Structure 1
Amino acid sequence: MQATTLQTQAERFLADLKRSPQTVRAYRADLRHLTGWLQETGHLLEREALETYFAVHSHWAPATRSRKQTALERFCRWALQHDLLDHDPTLHLEHPHLPPPHPRGLRREEIERIFAAIPPEQTRDALLFRLVFETGLRIGEALGIHVEDLDLTRGDEHLTVIGKGNRKRTVLLDDPRLVNALRRYLRTLGYTHGPLFQARKNGRGGPLRYQSVQERWQGYAERAGVVCTLHQLRHSHATELVNGGVSLATIRKRLGHQHIQTTLRYAEVSDQTADTEVRQWRRKNLGHRH
Structure 2
Amino acid sequence: MDVTTLQTQAERFLTELRRSPQTVRAYRADLRHLTDWLQRTGRRLERETLETYFAAHPQWAPATRNRKQTTLERFCRWALQRELLGCDPTLHLERPSLPPPHPRGLRREELECIFAVIPPEQARDALLFRLVFETGLRIGEALGAHVEDLDLTRGDEHLMVTGKGNRKRTVLLDDPKLVSMLRRYLRTLGYTHGPLFQATKNGRGGPLRYQSVQERWQGYTGRAGVTCTLHQLRHSHATELVNGGVSLATIRKRLGHQHIQTTLRYAEVSDTTADTEVRLWRRQR
Partner of 2:251: 251
- The amino acid that maps onto 1:230 is L
* C-alpha distance in structure 1 between counterparts of 2:265 and 2:242, whole Å: 11
Partner of 1:225: 225
Task: Give identity over the alignment, percent.
Answer: 89
1:209-240 deviations in whole A, cap 9, x for unaligned?
10110110111011111000000000000000
Taking the TM superposition and a 5 Å limit, the aligned residue runs for 1:102-117 are 102-117=102-117
Partner of 1:133: 133
* C-alpha distance in structure 2 between counterparts of 1:153 and 1:275, whole Å: 39
Taking the TM superposition and a 5 Å limit, the aligned residue runs for 1:73-112 are 96-112=96-112
Taking the TM superposition and a 5 Å limit, the aligned residue runs for 1:1-290 are 96-285=96-285
The 3-state SS of whatever aligns with 1:202 is helix
* C-alpha distance in structure 1 between counterparts of 2:200 and 2:96, whole Å: 46
* C-alpha distance in structure 1 between counterparts of 2:95 and 2:147, whole Å: 47
* C-alpha distance in structure 2 between counterparts of 1:102 and 1:271, whole Å: 17
Structure having the higher Rg = 1
Aligned-residue offset at 1:254: 0.3
Aligned-residue offset at 1:94: 5.3
Q: How many residues align?
A: 195
The 3-state SS of whatever aligns with 1:207 is coil
Aligned-residue offset at 1:275: 1.2
TM-score (norm 2): 0.66
TM-score (norm 1): 0.65
- The amino acid that maps onto 1:194 is G
**RMSD, aligned α-carbons:** 1.6
* C-alpha distance in structure 2 between counterparts of 1:268 and 1:106, whole Å: 13
Aligned-residue offset at 1:283: 2.5
The 3-state SS of whatever aligns with 1:137 is coil
Gaps of 5+ in 2: 1-61, 63-92
Aligned-residue offset at 1:104: 0.3
* C-alpha distance in structure 1 between counterparts of 2:219 and 2:277, whole Å: 38
Aligned-residue offset at 1:203: 1.2
